[in-house]
Structure 1
């Protein structure tokens, strides 16, 4: 697979649609002329290596760990760091006004299997997302997209959302939430997929069919812990302003939206 990485990165340059504006409107005065000039000057004079290194755009879906009712589309802008590690910044849209929702770290199956059991609880598999066609790479030619998906299918993701744009429509509120990916048919709200396919002019059923020959390994032990009732979220700790990892079993969307994330 190593030989395919440079080709994929090259093909991904400049790809992507501008058809999913942010659904969040932040308060604030219009950008002043002075700030626009500063922005233009900074763009012309400053280098941005981490941003320039982003070489893939993926569109998929997440849900709050422990709350299947909290689902949303997620636009991933991915940097391929090496053959085993990728990292993504996640937005609620793919236009200039898109709001930064969070981050996802993506590792190979080989690295995932080396993680301690407690750490594995934070990670989700990508097998279903790839094989089902719900994860796409907008703008890529079919052959290039399939090569990229063959690279991703047996990877694992650790995703934190810092702006819960499904409910916080002005500013990022609360603390980060651990997100998961879907693992089987019937879990995702079909309306999300219908809306996505319409905007991108794609057919998930046809994409799924075209990926039948992509080899997906069974999910490694320890991933997708929520399937076994083991859900983890952060909780606020009074005192020093620290954040502690605490296991909280969410059973309804109401619990998630009541501030128990």
Structure 2
């Protein structure tokens, strides 16, 4: 039976009114530096009241899932995505290490549909990961959304692909955004994720990944482009910063991608 979009909207509004989801996951680290002084607080309050923040208002969806460093699937972390939908085929997300006011921006993710992914060059596809397993396994959740609305959202995301770059590695206890940006990937099979990481998340959000998996069994399994999830085949793309002062390349072309085999 096709779900009523009016029912989805009403249940979502009720959930907002009841304060569902969020504010239950602290940031991994405290940023280096002294506390905000009174002048900073006053300036921030004034800016909040007076300045327009239209781009930020477009980030209307919240997704919680997991990433790992391309080339190192054992280095895993929870990722809180705040998502803006640009059109029917393109989304963009800001990724935080928590969902409270102390959360640090870890990175960004671009999400596109399978229709657009087919148009990408092979080399570009190697930087992207699929979302089918994250959805079908129940690992990916939309905290605070009623079940019917979350299911509808997962139906849209199951066949999409993501390109994710982390810039602040708070999972490594780094108190500043130091080091090279890192390309991230998503899980594709059972047994890959750290079970304790998953259990801790489920407890905080009072959700069951196992139940999510059962509830999403009716979501059709999409065909997956063989060039996505390149890490599974031992083809690793990662970033490094190099000195190109004498190069003809524009400085904004850094960092460059490396192709190396993962053993």
Kindly indicate whether the alpha-carbon contact (under 8 Å) linking 1:160 and 1:179 is maintained by their aligned counterparts in 2: yes
TM-score by length of 1: 0.90
- Give SS of 1:130's match: helix
Partner of 2:184: 179
- Give SS of 1:217's match: coil
Q: Given the alignment of the two structures, is residue 159 of structure 1 paired with residue 171 of structure 2, yes or no? A: no
Equivalent position to 1:40, from 37, 42, 45: 45
Equivalent position to 1:207, from 212, 217, 224: 212
Aligned pairs (5 A) from 1:38-117: 38-117=43-122
Gaps of 5+ in 2: 246-250
Alpha-carbon displacement from aligned partner over 1:172-221 (angstroms, at most 9, x marks no partner): 11111000000000011101100000100111111110000011212112
- Give SS of 1:248's match: strand
Say what the alpha-carbon RMSD is for the aligned residues. 1.9
Q: Given the alignment of the two structures, is residue 248 of structure 1 paired with residue 260 of structure 2, yes or no? A: yes
Kindly indicate whether the alpha-carbon contact (under 8 Å) linking 1:19 and 1:95 is maintained by their aligned counterparts in 2: yes
Partner of 1:124: 129
Kindly indicate whether the alpha-carbon contact (under 8 Å) linking 2:133 and 2:188 is maintained by their aligned counterparts in 1: yes
Distance in 2 (alpha carbons) for counterparts of 1:222 and 1:46: 43
Gaps of 5+ in 1: 252-261
TM-score by length of 2: 0.89
Question: What is the CA distance between 1:248 and its match in structure 2?
Answer: 3.1
Alpha-carbon displacement from aligned partner over 1:226-247 (angstroms, at most 9, x marks no partner): 1111110011212426422111
Task: Tell me which moved more, 235-244 or 119-128.
Answer: 235-244
Task: Tell me which moved more, 122-131 or 241-250.
Answer: 241-250
Kindly indicate whether the alpha-carbon contact (under 8 Å) linking 2:168 and 2:174 is maintained by their aligned counterparts in 1: no
Alpha-carbon displacement from aligned partner over 1:93-132 (angstroms, at most 9, x marks no partner): 0000000000000000000011000000000000000000
- Give SS of 1:234's match: strand
- Give SS of 2:171's match: coil
Partner of 1:234: 239
Kindly indicate whether the alpha-carbon contact (under 8 Å) linking 2:21 and 2:205 is maintained by their aligned counterparts in 1: no
Equivalent position to 1:221, from 218, 222, 226: 226
- Give SS of 1:247's match: strand
Alpha-carbon displacement from aligned partner over 1:134-192 (angstroms, at most 9, x marks no partner): 00000000000000000100000000000111114311111110000000000111011
Distance in 1 (alpha carbons) for counterparts of 2:30 and 2:174: 6
Partner of 2:248: none
